[in-house]
Structure 1
Amino acid sequence: MRNRLVVMLCALALAPVSYAQNASDIASVQSGHDCEGCNLFQAELSYRDLEKVNLSGSRLRQADLSLSTMNDANFRAANLSVANLFAGRFTSADFRDADLSQSNMVGAYFGSADFHGAKLAGANVSGAEMATAKGLTQAQLDQACGDEATELPEGLRIPSCRKLLRR
């Protein structure tokens, strides 16, 4: 019996960490508080005014940030994969080393936002305003898609989402 108990305790100690969202952290962010490294999985943050909020290193996978204003927000090294940033305002936001893979960035404003090292694989930036964004590279954009309304820094281009859909 004792050996079984030891085996069960060892198994629990080695079990993977839970990735469930943290409701109290989400409520705190909805109220405008910083939350570095928090689990905000599928957080509902749409239509919020959260300027200068610090969410660096947080898990915002599948979060809804649509139509929000998050100017000067810190998303450094955050996981925003499959997140909805539709028509949000992210002036001077820090997306350095963030994962924006498969995110919906359609119609969002990213004036002076920093994208150094950000992952954009599968992201849709159709109609996004990124002309003054910093740190964007052609290699990043080649993994994303957009349209003729996407505004990019001079010399950069983006594959058409329509062409990708036809494949």
Structure 2
Amino acid sequence: MKTAVFALITAALTSTAAAVDRADVLAAGGCENCDLNLMTLREVNIKNANFSGVIFREADLKEAKLPGANFKGADLRRTEFEKSVLTKAIFDGAQMRGIDLEKCNLEEASFLDGVDLRSADMAGANLSKAQFTGADMRDAHLRRSDITDANFSNTKLVKSDFERANGPRANFSGSDLSGSDLSRIKVAGGSFRGANLRHTDLSHGDFRNTDLTDANLSYAIMRQTNFSGANLEDVSGLSQSRLDVACGDENTRLPDGYTIKICSSSKY
């Protein structure tokens, strides 16, 4: 019955110039391909909503509860979702430049098919197990976010902010993090294979047991960075002077001729 209602309402809204209101969206369980530009849907509560292809540009959906929502191909530029629940939501191929996802719950959400997340605000968000492979996240703000088991492989992350993010086992393989802030990040057990970390701030970061095979560490700041158990054996751009201010342990793998001091037992 709900599917039939959705089809009827969506057909009416997309075939006429009729204004869409909150009641229409709630009744239909979404609004596929609708123009909801500037609309206010604060605290809206719909499970598995269908907003694929919707225009939500600069709309207000703060504190919305939309678990499992479908936003494939949607225009979400500068949309406000602060403190919303968007677990397992699908944003594949969406335009999301400048979107506000601060403190949102986006656990297991999908951001694939070249989604545009440039300058997105994800500070303090739960991004655990989220998928970002191939996304454009240049200048994105992810300070203090939870990126546990998240996948950022082959993602554009130039000048992004991950300060104090918590992300055990996060995958950054093949990503471009040049010029980014990863200070005080916790990514123990993560992967940075082939990642570009040129001019990246890794100071005070927890990189225990991370795989940095073939990563570029040219001019990276590594002040008090913990590389215990990490694999830096085949990195490029490494210098002994920068490594001297980091620390590791007997299991840290380094290129021939390089050394690293042992971390204090209180480090992490």
Residue aligned with 2:77, SS: coil
Cα contact 1:124–1:161 (8 A) shared by 2: no
Q: TM-score, structure 2 length as denominator?
A: 0.48
Quote the residue 1:135 is aligned against: 132
Residue equivalent to 1:151: 146
The count of corresponding residues between Structure 1 and Structure 2 is: 142
CA contact (8 A) 1:126 1:150 kept: yes
Amino acid at match of 1:146: L
Deviations 1:137-164 (A, max 9, x none): 5x633341221x1122457578228999
What are structure 1's unaligned runs of at least 5 residues?
Answer: 1-20
Equivalences for residues 1-167 of structure 1 within 5 A: 23-24=19-20, 26-31=22-27, 33-116=29-112, 117-137=114-134, 140-147=136-143, 149-152=144-147, 153=149, 156=152, 159-160=160-161
Distance 1:25 1:68 in 2: 16
Aligned CA distance change for structure 1 residues 161 and 52 (closer, same or farther; 3 Å): same
Query: Retained in 2: the 8 A contact 1:49–1:70?
Result: yes
SS in 1 for 2:141: coil
- Name the counterpart of 2:237: none
AA paired with 2:137?
L
Alpha-carbon distance between aligned partners in 2 of 1:41 and 1:112, rounded to the nearest angstrom = 27
Amino acid aligned to 1:134: Q
Per the alignment, do residues 22 and 43 of structure 1 end up closer, same or farther by CA in structure 2, a change over 3 Å counting? farther
Contact 1:25 1:39 in 2 (8 A): no
Q: Match of 2:249?
A: none
Asked whether the 8 Å contact 1:67–1:86 carries over to 2, the reply is: yes
Deviation at 1:25, TM superposition (A): 5.3
Partner amino acid, structure 2, of 1:35: C
Look up the match of 1:13: none
Q: TM-score scaled to structure 1, two decimals?
A: 0.74
The root-mean-square deviation of aligned C-alpha atoms, in Å, is: 2.7
Q: Is the 8 A contact 2:96 2:118 kept in 1?
A: yes
Looking at structure 2, the residues matched to 43 and 94 of structure 1 have their Cα atoms a distance apart, in angstroms, of 20
Deviations 1:22-76 (A, max 9, x none): 6325541144533110000011111111111101001000111110110011100
Cα separation, partners in 2 of 1:154 and 1:110, compared to 1, 3 Å: closer
CA–CA separation in structure 2 for the residues paired with 1:45 and 1:111: 21
Q: Partners in 2 of 1:103 and 1:40 — Cα distance? A: 15
CA contact (8 A) 2:70 2:90 kept: yes
Moved over 3 A (4+): 153-158, 161-164
Distance in 1 of aligned mates of 2:151 and 2:59: 32
Report sequence identity in percent. Answer: 25
* Aligned-partner residue type, residue 159 of structure 1: S
